[in-house]
Structure 1
Amino acid sequence: MDSYLEDILFLYNRDTHWDETFTYSYIIKTTNDLIRFNIPSTPFKLSLSAKTTENSNTFSNFDIFKSQFKNQQLQGHISYIIYNVNESIEVLKQKNRHNNNNNNIMNQDSDINPIIKINQSFKKSLHINDYIKNFSDYYKDLLIGNQNNEVPNSYDYLRTKSYKNSRFLYGKMLFTGDNTGRSITSGMYIKQLSLNTRLMMKFQSDSTTQSLHSTSSLQFQNANKFMELTYNTTETLIGFKLLKKLWNNPIEKSCFKLGFEVWHGFKNFTPHSSISFQYDTVSSQQGKPLNFSMDINPLLGHLIVTFGMWENLHHYDSIHRKRSGMFSHFFLNVYSLKSKLNIGYQYKQLKVAVNFTDRYLRFKHGLQLSDKFTLSFGAVMQLDSDLLNNINPLDNMLNYGLELKYIG
């Protein structure tokens, strides 16, 4: 996922109250952001991003950079994003469990519906048309009893906010710049089915191979549980993911999450499974957030352990990147006993990661030139015995690049 799509998708998730940090994929995504982060892959890249219309959520992006092929042509991509958030108020009818013949006592403090708990942060005022409609529906059932001869006041009418039919659409066309005129088209579509359920579809098409690959996911999320059912057309894969909060203490700012995923490929009959857990807390001595996670793949024998002390670990800021701290990542194959150790450090827009096994150094730094211009540069360097003897440090660089970004 490129940074531009990630920035706009963050806005959509925020507007629809979807917590991206409480997903199974986010555990892996956090590691990639801090250890295997992307750097500008070309000597120079120019990125232009702008909001197309002022009164709608429509965005466009254009990137141009030097081709990696020998013909020295330019390559780039054009992307377009549009999303709309459909806020509506739904009145849910629930049996009043405190009804005692004619003496109905509503004990709201001791018996609160879970829907209200999930939506207790929604404090926006209602539109006058929604208010009149809900008022009419309430008294319609109150007077006629919905033609079922039940006591009118035996029901509670719960007002809850819904983002049903909210949509997110993303399209991107990449021009490779080679002699064949090859182009790659990718896209993403998200539709909100209810407050807690949404459908996500991703696809990619190649003009050379005339192939189309897609991945469809049905996601469910509430305050304590996340579930995802996924189908991929490439290998005819079907997967299921589950993540649950087993313990959450807002006062001590501690949370323990446990989850698993299972996959099966019907084309090549390749199974896959993993178990993960994550623990977040705050150090009592230093007052710094601590994060510990473990991922186990029993079929491949992979064991991944991560530990870090981070400020704003789950805070996303597309401009200032306020996340800062140190992070370690350890990989072990219990069958072959091969291991890898990575350590990453980040302070605002500066990122540094070291792979001690392959002896790689990866770094990236961004500068905020103005409110609309940012400059980023990064490189991947080979750490060997000749590093200090080389006069030109570029001889040890495997990849480096510079990116100038304009956000209108």
Structure 2
Amino acid sequence: MYTYMEYLQKCFYKSTNWNEDNIFSNITATSQAILEFPIPNGFKIDSSSKTTDYSASSFTLSNNHQINGSLAYLYSSVPLKNTMGTKDVSLQDAIAGFRIIEPMVRLQPKFNNKAPHSKSSLLYGRMYFPGSALEAMIIKRISENTQLLIKCVNNPHLSKNGTMIVYLQNNTAKYSREFIYSTNESLIGLRCLYNLGTPTSSSTVSSFNPRTIPKFDNSVVSIGTELWFATRSMSPGLSGALRYSTRSTSTGKPLTMTLAINPILGHISSTYTVKTSVASTFCSRYDFNVFSYASNLSLGFELYSYANKKRSDFYNHEIYSSSEENKYLKQHPELQKHHRVPIRAYKHHDNRTIINPIHNLDNVYHINPTLLSTTSGSGHTSETVTTAFQNLVNESDFSSVLKFSTSLNDKVVKILWEGRLRDFLVSTGVKLSLNPVTNTPEFNKLGISFSYAL
């Protein structure tokens, strides 16, 4: 679960059209969210408030062997009007999970020159107690595609009482570049990510003809690398990664595959993540070392639960009521008795109207061939199905999510439940491992955290 400050940072990126998925460090973010999710340790409560559209504060208190706390502040030069509190926020926005990688879109130059957020900035600071540990972050947008990110940590337990990392990031539809410098070991780094294919213009997206778009436009292939060099210890670092993300043209379900290689350490890691339904995701990862021949297989899944267990009978349709349908029922109480909502027509970008092209709008997605064109508009069919699936995921009203991951070689099992309890977001989980001596399971982590934000 994201902290409230992390959530505001993501809203800042969305408000300023900054694509996080186009950064090399996030190339395996989907598999990490399902396999390497953190488990709360002890008891923790977080209370946050957005005083204005430009500023917010957060207070955290935890009890893990001793009482600790922190106080944080955030300021944004861009009004964060698209944020919500823990009572109304969607779980898809509050919890790290499957990321749908969108095809590349190049903004028009005239839009870039007049963009009001081309010089936007974000300031963040946190103070921990007891003790004198501090952390800060500055995000300064230099241009529409370039920003400066500075992270600082001040802690008496660190070498020279702290460290600072500077990122100069350039993010475009075709590629992204990062120049990194850290005061720790005087580390210098370079990250690059290149997207194969030709980016689509934003004007083309708003007025495209689906017959002219091939099916592979739903796929995104990205290849990247990172180079590191510690000037003090004269130690180099090198790694590369490949990501392939696509969506099925028949069901609209997305999947992501990645391959990461570290030639210096001889480590190879491959992942496969697929959204098997609107409310479930499965992920697998295989790690192998060419020097030691050590290998490991990790498996994980996440399963969402709907807030409203009653299904809505859409004549021949059977889906869980999304937030949009719930709003419609509130406006028309006479329909609540039978839980029936009229089927709304889907309007495509070229102003053609399609009346419900999906026969059974459930997690399986059965296609009704009598309602789909069998002529040259096959590209239109695939575009409609993928859009319908994504809209259904975004509009679904979920109340909780259950995450599970295990590793065969490490013999570790992690279980995490995150959901909404009244006005709070709750996260609780456990981490179990097998004792190598007694071969009995033992608890490594066990905790619960509460988050409240206005």
Task: Tell me the TM-score normalized by structure 1.
Answer: 0.72
Counterparts of 2:108 and 2:403 in 1: how far apart (Å)?
37
Among 56, 60, 73, which residue is 1:59 paired with? 56
Is structure 2 residue 259 aligned with structure 1 residue 299? no
Q: Of residues 82, 94, 115 in structure 2, which corresponds to 1:161?
A: 115
Does the C-alpha gap of structure 1 residues 173 and 324 become closer, same or farther in structure 2, counting only changes over 3 Å?
farther
Structure 2 residue ranges without an equivalent (≥5): 80-104, 199-212, 305-400
Offset at residue 32 of structure 1 (A): 2.3
Letter in 1 for 2:287: F
- Taking the aligned partners of 2:280 and 2:77, their CA distance within structure 1 comes to 33
Matches of residues 244-393 of structure 1 in structure 2 within 5 Å? 244-247=194-197, 251-252=215-216, 253-284=218-249, 286-310=251-275, 324-348=280-304, 349-370=401-422, 372-383=423-434
- 2:148 is equivalent to residue 202 of structure 1: no
Q: Contact 1:343 / 1:354 at 8 angstroms: preserved in 2?
A: yes
Please tell me whether the aligned partners of residues 162 and 195 of structure 1 are also in contact (alpha carbons under 8 angstroms).
no
Q: 1:250 to 1:244 in 2, by over 3 A?
A: farther
- Cα contact 1:162–1:194 (8 A) shared by 2: no
Distance 2:15 2:276 in 1: 24
The equivalent of 2:70 in structure 1 is: 77
Q: Measure the CA separation in 2 of the matches of 1:201 and 1:2.
A: 20
Mapped contact 1:359–1:384 kept (Cα < 8 A) = no
Change (3 A) 1:336 1:79: same
Shift of 1:165: 2.5
Q: Which residue of 2 aligns with 1:183?
A: 132
State the shift of 1:162 in Å.
Answer: 5.0
Is the 2:276–2:282 Cα contact (8 Å) retained in structure 1? no
Aligned partner of 2:443 among 355, 377, 397:
397
SS in 2 for 1:183: coil
Q: What CA distance in whole angstroms lies between the structure 1 residues aligned with 2:116 and 2:168? A: 17
Rounded to whole Å, the distance in 2 between the matches of 1:241 and 1:273 is 10
Cα distance, 1:159 vs. partner?
A: 5.6
Secondary structure in 2 matching 1:378: strand
**CA displacement at 1:284 relative to structure 2:** 4.7
Q: Output the CA distance in 1 between the equivalents of 2:290 and 2:237.
A: 16
The 1:183/1:342 distance shift into structure 2, 3 A limit, reads farther
Contact 1:373 1:404 in 2 (8 A): yes
Alignment of 1:67-146 (within 5 A): 67-68=64-65, 73-85=66-78, 117-119=106-108
In the alignment, does 2:127 pair up with 1:173? yes
How many aligned positions are there?
318
Percent identity for Structure 1 against Structure 2 = 29
Measure how far apart 1:3 and its partner are. Answer: 2.7
Match of 1:193 in 2: 142
Q: How far did residue 285 of structure 1 move?
A: 5.7
Question: Could you say if the C-alpha distance between residues 376 and 199 of structure 1 is closer, same or farther in structure 2, counting changes exceeding 3 Å?
Answer: same
Give the distance between the partners of 2:109 and 2:219, measured in 1 at CA. Answer: 21
Taking structure 1 as reference, are residues 284 and 208 closer, same or farther at Cα in structure 2, changes over 3 Å only? closer
Letter of the structure 2 residue corresponding to residue 31 of structure 1: S
Task: Go from structure 1 to structure 2 and tell me whether the alpha carbon gap of 1:215 and 1:298 turns closer, same or farther (over 3 Å shift).
Answer: same
Tell me by how many angstroms 1:36 deviates.
Answer: 1.0
SS of alignment partner, residue 29 of structure 2? helix
* Alignment deviations for residues 9-44 of structure 1 (CA, whole Å, 9 cap, x no partner): 1110011100101110111333322111112111x2
Shift of 1:324: 3.5
Separation in 1 of the partners of 2:132 and 2:407? Answer: 34
Cα distance between partner residues in 1 of 2:265 and 2:234: 15
- CA distance in structure 2 between the aligned counterparts of 1:121 and 1:287, rounded to whole angstroms: 33
CA change 1:118–1:262 in 2 (3 A) is same
Q: Which structure has the larger Rg over C-alpha atoms?
A: 1
Query: Aligned AA for 1:274?
Result: S
Is the 8 Å Cα contact of residues 66 and 75 (structure 1) preserved in structure 2? yes
Q: Distance in 1 between matches of 2:279 and 2:166?
A: 31
Q: Name which structure has the greater RCO, CA cutoff 8 Å, separation 6+.
A: 2
| Partner of residue 313, structure 2 | none
The structure 2 residue matched to 1:219, chosen from 139, 147, 169, is: 169
**More helix per residue: 1 or 2?**
2
Report the Cα distance in structure 2 between the residues aligned to 1:367 and 1:121, rounded to whole angstroms.
43
SS in 2 for 1:32: helix
| d(CA) in 1 for partners of 2:280, 2:122 | 30
> Does the CA contact (< 8 Å) of 1:182 and 1:208 recur in 2?
no
Q: Distance in 1 between matches of 2:419 and 2:137?
A: 30
**Aligned-partner SS, 1:10:** helix
2:4 maps to a residue whose letter is: Y
Partner of 2:208: none
Stretches of structure 1 that go unaligned for 5 or more consecutive residues are 87-115, 123-157, 176-180, 313-321
| SS of residue in 1 equivalent to 2:27 | helix
In 2 relative to 1, CA 360–250 (structure 1 residues): closer, same or farther, beyond 3 Å? farther
Bigger mean CA deviation after superposition, 59-68 or 231-240: 59-68
Output the CA distance in 2 between the equivalents of 1:232 and 1:159: 32
The alpha-carbon distance between structure 1 residues 250 and 12, as it changes in their structure 2 partners (threshold 3 A), is farther
Check conservation: 1:352, 1:362, Cα contact below 8 A.
yes
Q: 1:235 to 1:195 in 2, by over 3 A?
A: same
Matches of 1:291 and 1:191, distance apart in 2 = 31
Contact 2:72–2:126 at 8 Å: present in 1 too? yes
Going from structure 1 to structure 2, the CA distance change for 1:328 and 1:214 (only over 3 Å counts) comes to same
- Name the CA distance, whole Å, in 1 between partners of 2:424 and 2:110: 35
**TM-score if structure 2 supplies the norm length?**
0.65
Q: Distance in 1 between matches of 2:279 and 2:141?
A: 29
Residue in 1 aligned with 2:85?
Answer: none
